[in-house]
Structure 1
């Protein structure tokens, strides 16, 4: 409800995004292999296999989901590709909004353990490219019915301190624009954190 209030108040338009628009967007989740999780919960199995396709040792799993952006609802097609212990996520998203006449969208890629050194140090890449309306970050920013190109590029690393604990850091550069989980402003971004892992 906060999202609906904020986005409708910001655009001050006769056109609005309503609660039923968000409800209808969740139907895209029905295309995902959630039946596997239901089987796991109903049966006495100790392991869960998520449905995926394997071809020449390459695993592939698509995921379709809705997302909330500062412009309106978007739909994501996330493609997970795995080979040995390496994983890559290729995502595509596209959205439309009653506040804009043009569609907006983008593409992105993230890797996990793209390059490893002796099982305790990894290096990963991240990149995104988008075409979307200008963000309104202050009251002085004017809302325009026009799309702009933007992008993000970055490199990250992970250092395993033990089999249960790791440190990670990521350095990104992005232009002004919306990417899930990343600040909207442009410039250099440094992320630092830790990872706790439980091995059964």
Structure 2
């Protein structure tokens, strides 16, 4: 939120170039019939102030400072299920999106789910997803999944009618309003390697169709992630 408000000139910020200004420039030159202004974005980003973790971080700092104790994060508890909902703004290639997120824990296993929705250039788009990395546990292994489903404007990788400041622009209006459905699905595997130091091997494999999912490729692609984790068991 504060970063978005640094777009304007101020003696408090260095303002030679700005990621958010670049995003608006790119978006408005691509979707030329619907202009998203700085003021529009500044109003929309205020939804981030509803994020409860922001206030928890501030409160826990002063609580520890004056009491020397850690503050327990407040969550919604239903038996063994714990939930921490959140609202925030996201930036997509076709416009801004509002996220309704839920960070959960069931029997000490983390679960993340979200629903996102937005409207720009007369396109209404949405998406939903869930990540449950530790669904099954057996001996030194854990198996889970992630799945995302979405409806959004089609993204083009071809050249536009012309190029403007290194941006391909000039797509026809019917192209910019063409909607697609997409899905991303993968299995997540964790195996403990060293019990004493709690080091584990991580593998995620799956497939994703064309479209925008934060943190993933825009084109049709195979999902393959390999790594090592610490304190995951």
Please say if residues 66 and 75 of structure 1, whose CA atoms lie closer than 8 Å, have aligned partners that are also in contact: yes
Distance across 1 between alignment mates of 2:30 and 2:176: 12
Please say if residues 36 and 49 of structure 1, whose CA atoms lie closer than 8 Å, have aligned partners that are also in contact: no
Q: What does 1:37-116 align with in structure 2 at a 5 Å threshold?
A: 37-44=57-64, 45-97=68-120, 100-116=121-137
TM-score for both structures, normalised by structure 2: 0.76
Deviations 1:24-53 (A, max 9, x none): 222112222232221111122442422211
Q: Secondary structure at the match of 1:40?
A: helix
Please identify the structure whose Cα radius of gyration is greater.
2
Instruction: Specify whether residues 194 and 22 from structure 1 end up closer, same or farther in structure 2 by C-alpha distance, changes over 3 A only.
Output: farther
Distance across 2 between alignment mates of 1:48 and 1:164: 26
Please say if residues 186 and 223 of structure 2, whose CA atoms lie closer than 8 Å, have aligned partners that are also in contact: no
Q: More deviation in 159-168 or 130-139?
A: 159-168
Match of 1:161 in 2: 193
Please say if residues 87 and 114 of structure 1, whose CA atoms lie closer than 8 Å, have aligned partners that are also in contact: no
Deviations 1:140-192 (A, max 9, x none): 59533132111111101112223353321111211101101010111322111
Distance across 2 between alignment mates of 1:176 and 1:31: 32
Distance across 2 between alignment mates of 1:51 and 1:139: 50
Distance across 2 between alignment mates of 1:58 and 1:71: 35
Unaligned runs of 5+ in 2: 1-20, 161-167
Please say if residues 37 and 48 of structure 1, whose CA atoms lie closer than 8 Å, have aligned partners that are also in contact: no
Asked if residue 4 in structure 1 is aligned to residue 24 in structure 2, the reply is yes
TM-score for both structures, normalised by structure 1: 0.87
> How far does residue 10 in structure 1 lie from its aligned partner after superposition?
2.5
Asked if residue 35 in structure 1 is aligned to residue 58 in structure 2, the reply is no
Distance across 2 between alignment mates of 1:164 and 1:46: 26
Instruction: Specify whether residues 50 and 132 from structure 1 end up closer, same or farther in structure 2 by C-alpha distance, changes over 3 A only.
Output: same
Q: More deviation in 154-163 or 135-144?
A: 135-144
Unaligned runs of 5+ in 1: none
RMSD: 2.2
Instruction: Specify whether residues 14 and 144 from structure 1 end up closer, same or farther in structure 2 by C-alpha distance, changes over 3 A only.
Output: closer
Please say if residues 95 and 105 of structure 1, whose CA atoms lie closer than 8 Å, have aligned partners that are also in contact: yes
